[in-house]
Amino acid sequence: MKLAFGADHAGFELKQHLIQTARSMGHEVLDFGAHSLESVDYADFAEPAARAVVRGEADLGVVICSNGVGISITANKVVGARCALCHTSWAAARARQHTDANMLALGGLETGSAIADEILAAFLSPGNDFQGGRHERRLEKLREVERRGIGAVEGERTEASLLAEPVGVRP
């Protein structure tokens, strides 16, 4: 399996560790950075990792920042990315089985390497692939929300209209 990794400076060390773990499990790795402990912004690494997954250049993705929140929010802004912030191997398995998560987010300053190894193994386990069935209905509803876009309710600004406006006009 090919995995896309991305992390900011706070997730750098755990990313490096998990890349070695993934390789030892026989997986191929795409490393979108960061490549050092120098302070950087998580969005610069979450987006290319998420795009690689959505485009099919990677099967799954792993993104890491200090607590996993910012980088998971950023990854989830990429249409088609379903990034789950997980703190346990059970949550990682459930994210794959029930929501067909295609990305895993972790907190590099709050998750130890041994626990992170367990979470990654659960996320990648073929036994935890998407179960379909009743979960497919829920996943389709998620896709419907995604298609409508943020704020696409009548009378509200849509995400596309906000992006088209000059920066100074945004509320």
- What single string gives the DSSP state of each residue in 43-109? HHHHHHHHHHHHTTSSSEEEEEESSSHHHHHHHHTSTT--EEE-SSHHHHHHHHHHH---EEEEETT
Catalytic residue among 35, 87, 98, 135: 98
In the annotation, is 87 catalytic? Answer: no
Burial class (CB in 10 A: 0-12, 13-18, 19+), 157: middle
Catalytic residue among 9, 65, 83, 86: 65
Give the integer Cα–Cα distance in Å for 90 and 88.
Answer: 5
3-15: burial string, b at 16+ Cβ within 10 Å, e else? bbbbbbbbbbebb
Instruction: Please report, as a single letter, which amino acid is at residue 150.
Output: I
Peptide bond into 34 cis (omega under 30): yes
CB atoms within 10 A of CB 23: 12
In the annotation, is 83 catalytic? Answer: no
**Residue positions annotated with a catalytic role:** 65, 98
